[in-house]
Amino acid sequence: MKTIIGALVALALGAFSVASAHATLVIGTMTFDPDPPLDGETVSVSIVLEDPGLVEVEDAVIFLEVRGGQDLAENEQPGDEALHITDRLEEVAPGLYRGELPVPVGEDDITLSVRDRTYRQEEAVANIKVDFGSPLGEVVFVLPPTAIGPASLGTWLIWLIVVPLAAGVVVTVLVLRGGKDHADADGAHARDDASTDAA
Protein backbone atom coordinates (compact mmCIF):
# COMPACT_ATOMS: atom_id res chain seq x y z
CA MET A 1 0.00 0.00 0.00
CA LYS A 2 2.79 2.42 0.88
CA THR A 3 4.46 1.59 -2.44
CA ILE A 4 1.31 2.52 -4.38
CA ILE A 5 0.90 5.77 -2.45
CA GLY A 6 4.58 6.62 -2.94
CA ALA A 7 4.31 5.95 -6.68
CA LEU A 8 1.23 8.16 -7.00
CA VAL A 9 2.85 11.00 -5.06
CA ALA A 10 5.99 10.70 -7.23
CA LEU A 11 3.82 10.79 -10.36
CA ALA A 12 2.01 13.93 -9.17
CA LEU A 13 5.30 15.65 -8.28
CA GLY A 14 6.82 14.59 -11.59
CA ALA A 15 3.86 16.02 -13.48
CA PHE A 16 4.28 19.32 -11.64
CA SER A 17 8.00 19.47 -12.38
CA VAL A 18 7.41 18.81 -16.09
CA ALA A 19 4.87 21.62 -16.19
CA SER A 20 7.12 24.07 -14.38
CA ALA A 21 10.42 23.14 -16.07
CA HIS A 22 9.83 25.15 -19.23
CA ALA A 23 9.17 28.36 -17.35
CA THR A 24 12.84 28.71 -16.33
CA LEU A 25 16.04 29.87 -17.97
CA VAL A 26 17.98 27.37 -20.04
CA ILE A 27 21.77 27.70 -19.98
CA GLY A 28 23.56 26.60 -23.13
CA THR A 29 27.22 25.88 -23.85
CA MET A 30 28.27 25.71 -27.50
CA THR A 31 31.53 24.27 -28.87
CA PHE A 32 32.87 23.91 -32.42
CA ASP A 33 34.97 21.24 -34.13
CA PRO A 34 37.32 22.31 -35.67
CA ASP A 35 37.95 25.40 -33.58
CA PRO A 36 38.38 27.90 -35.17
CA PRO A 37 36.12 26.89 -38.07
CA LEU A 38 37.60 27.18 -41.57
CA ASP A 39 36.07 29.39 -44.28
CA GLY A 40 33.77 27.51 -46.62
CA GLU A 41 34.03 24.28 -44.60
CA THR A 42 31.39 22.52 -42.53
CA VAL A 43 31.84 22.76 -38.78
CA SER A 44 30.37 20.38 -36.21
CA VAL A 45 28.47 22.26 -33.48
CA SER A 46 27.76 20.74 -30.05
CA ILE A 47 25.33 22.35 -27.61
CA VAL A 48 24.76 21.31 -24.00
CA LEU A 49 21.48 22.58 -22.49
CA GLU A 50 20.95 22.70 -18.71
CA ASP A 51 18.43 24.32 -16.39
CA PRO A 52 19.63 26.57 -13.52
CA GLY A 53 19.92 23.46 -11.30
CA LEU A 54 22.41 22.03 -13.86
CA VAL A 55 19.97 19.28 -14.89
CA GLU A 56 20.14 18.35 -18.58
CA VAL A 57 17.29 19.66 -20.73
CA GLU A 58 16.17 16.71 -22.85
CA ASP A 59 13.96 16.39 -25.95
CA ALA A 60 14.44 20.02 -27.02
CA VAL A 61 13.78 21.04 -30.63
CA ILE A 62 16.82 23.19 -31.47
CA PHE A 63 17.81 24.92 -34.72
CA LEU A 64 20.78 27.17 -35.54
CA GLU A 65 20.50 30.17 -37.84
CA VAL A 66 23.51 31.95 -39.36
CA ARG A 67 23.31 35.70 -40.01
CA GLY A 68 25.79 38.39 -41.01
CA GLY A 69 27.25 40.32 -38.07
CA GLN A 70 24.05 42.13 -37.11
CA ASP A 71 23.58 44.11 -33.95
CA LEU A 72 20.87 42.02 -32.26
CA ALA A 73 20.09 41.99 -28.54
CA GLU A 74 20.78 38.66 -26.86
CA ASN A 75 17.16 37.45 -26.88
CA GLU A 76 15.72 39.61 -29.68
CA GLN A 77 13.68 37.81 -32.34
CA PRO A 78 15.55 38.40 -35.64
CA GLY A 79 13.41 40.06 -38.28
CA ASP A 80 15.40 39.21 -41.41
CA GLU A 81 16.21 36.09 -43.41
CA ALA A 82 19.02 33.90 -42.19
CA LEU A 83 21.96 33.02 -44.47
CA HIS A 84 21.53 29.39 -43.40
CA ILE A 85 19.20 27.41 -41.10
CA THR A 86 20.30 23.97 -39.92
CA ASP A 87 18.15 20.91 -39.69
CA ARG A 88 16.92 20.08 -36.20
CA LEU A 89 19.95 19.31 -34.04
CA GLU A 90 20.21 15.67 -33.03
CA GLU A 91 20.20 14.78 -29.33
CA VAL A 92 23.14 12.39 -29.01
CA ALA A 93 23.04 12.15 -25.19
CA PRO A 94 20.72 13.61 -22.53
CA GLY A 95 20.95 17.39 -22.96
CA LEU A 96 23.67 17.18 -25.67
CA TYR A 97 22.72 18.29 -29.19
CA ARG A 98 24.86 18.14 -32.36
CA GLY A 99 24.56 19.47 -35.87
CA GLU A 100 26.55 20.62 -38.89
CA LEU A 101 26.92 24.22 -39.95
CA PRO A 102 28.47 25.63 -43.14
CA VAL A 103 30.91 28.47 -42.41
CA PRO A 104 30.23 31.52 -44.62
CA VAL A 105 33.20 32.45 -46.81
CA GLY A 106 34.79 35.80 -46.02
CA GLU A 107 32.55 36.53 -43.02
CA ASP A 108 34.43 36.12 -39.77
CA ASP A 109 32.05 38.26 -37.69
CA ILE A 110 28.65 36.55 -37.73
CA THR A 111 25.61 36.15 -35.51
CA LEU A 112 24.39 32.67 -34.58
CA SER A 113 20.77 32.46 -33.43
CA VAL A 114 19.94 29.42 -31.31
CA ARG A 115 16.20 28.84 -31.69
CA ASP A 116 14.26 26.58 -29.29
CA ARG A 117 11.00 25.39 -30.88
CA THR A 118 10.20 22.68 -28.36
CA TYR A 119 6.69 23.96 -27.71
CA ARG A 120 4.37 24.83 -30.59
CA GLN A 121 3.29 28.26 -29.37
CA GLU A 122 6.39 29.14 -27.40
CA GLU A 123 9.72 29.97 -28.98
CA ALA A 124 12.93 31.14 -27.33
CA VAL A 125 15.95 32.57 -29.12
CA ALA A 126 19.51 33.46 -28.11
CA ASN A 127 21.70 35.54 -30.45
CA ILE A 128 25.45 35.06 -30.15
CA LYS A 129 28.08 37.14 -31.96
CA VAL A 130 31.01 34.93 -32.91
CA ASP A 131 34.29 35.63 -34.66
CA PHE A 132 35.22 32.60 -36.72
CA GLY A 133 38.67 34.11 -37.36
CA SER A 134 39.97 33.06 -33.92
CA PRO A 135 39.49 30.11 -31.52
CA LEU A 136 36.12 30.29 -29.75
CA GLY A 137 36.37 27.69 -26.96
CA GLU A 138 33.10 27.31 -25.03
CA VAL A 139 30.45 29.88 -25.95
CA VAL A 140 27.85 30.30 -23.19
CA PHE A 141 24.35 31.63 -23.88
CA VAL A 142 20.97 31.82 -22.11
CA LEU A 143 17.57 30.95 -23.55
CA PRO A 144 14.96 33.00 -21.68
CA PRO A 145 11.76 31.64 -20.11
CA THR A 146 9.05 31.53 -22.73
CA ALA A 147 5.57 33.03 -22.49
CA ILE A 148 2.64 30.65 -22.35
CA GLY A 149 0.40 30.86 -25.39
CA PRO A 150 -3.37 31.03 -24.83
CA ALA A 151 -3.96 27.60 -26.37
CA SER A 152 -1.57 25.95 -23.93
CA LEU A 153 -3.26 27.47 -20.86
CA GLY A 154 -5.65 24.50 -20.73
CA THR A 155 -2.70 22.09 -20.75
CA TRP A 156 -1.08 23.97 -17.86
CA LEU A 157 -4.32 23.90 -15.88
CA ILE A 158 -4.63 20.15 -16.43
CA TRP A 159 -1.06 19.52 -15.24
CA LEU A 160 -1.18 21.92 -12.30
CA ILE A 161 -4.72 21.35 -11.03
CA VAL A 162 -6.46 18.28 -12.49
CA VAL A 163 -3.58 15.78 -12.25
CA PRO A 164 -2.72 16.52 -8.59
CA LEU A 165 -6.43 16.49 -7.64
CA ALA A 166 -6.95 13.15 -9.41
CA ALA A 167 -3.87 11.72 -7.68
CA GLY A 168 -5.24 12.96 -4.33
CA VAL A 169 -8.61 11.30 -4.95
CA VAL A 170 -6.96 8.00 -5.92
CA VAL A 171 -4.71 8.05 -2.84
CA THR A 172 -7.68 8.87 -0.57
CA VAL A 173 -9.76 6.01 -2.02
CA LEU A 174 -6.86 3.57 -1.65
CA VAL A 175 -6.22 4.62 1.95
CA LEU A 176 -9.89 4.41 2.92
CA ARG A 177 -10.32 1.07 1.17
CA GLY A 178 -7.14 -0.26 2.79
CA GLY A 179 -8.53 0.71 6.23
CA LYS A 180 -11.84 -1.06 5.49
CA ASP A 181 -10.05 -4.26 4.40
CA HIS A 182 -7.97 -4.12 7.59
CA ALA A 183 -11.13 -3.67 9.73
CA ASP A 184 -12.82 -6.62 7.96
CA ALA A 185 -9.79 -8.80 8.61
CA ASP A 186 -9.77 -7.79 12.34
CA GLY A 187 -13.52 -8.65 12.57
CA ALA A 188 -12.92 -12.09 11.04
CA HIS A 189 -10.08 -12.77 13.51
CA ALA A 190 -12.33 -11.70 16.42
CA ARG A 191 -15.09 -14.10 15.27
CA ASP A 192 -12.57 -16.93 14.94
CA ASP A 193 -11.25 -16.22 18.45
CA ALA A 194 -14.82 -16.15 19.86
CA SER A 195 -15.72 -19.48 18.23
CA THR A 196 -12.49 -21.04 19.53
CA ASP A 197 -13.25 -19.84 23.09
CA ALA A 198 -16.81 -21.19 22.86
CA ALA A 199 -15.54 -24.61 21.81
List the domain boundaries for the chain: 1-23+149-199, 24-147
Q: How far apart are CA 169 and CA 124, in angstroms?
A: 37
pLDDT at 22: 46
Per residue of the chain (199 residues), give pLDDT as tens.
555 555 545 554 454 444 333 457 889 999 998 888 887 788 899 999 998 888 888 888 999 988 876 777 777 777 777 888 889 999 999 999 999 988 887 766 788 889 888 877 778 888 888 888 788 889 999 988 876 544 456 666 677 788 888 889 999 988 888 766 555 655 655 556 555 555 5
pLDDT at 127: 87
Q: How far apart are CA 118 and CA 22, in angstroms?
A: 9
**pTM of the entire predicted model:** 0.60
| Architecture of the 24-147 domain | Sandwich (2.60)
Q: At 33, phi and psi to the nearest 5?
A: -140, 110
pLDDT at 16: 42
DSSP annotation of 56 reads B
Give the CA angle between residues 190, 191, 194 to the nearest 5°.
Answer: 85
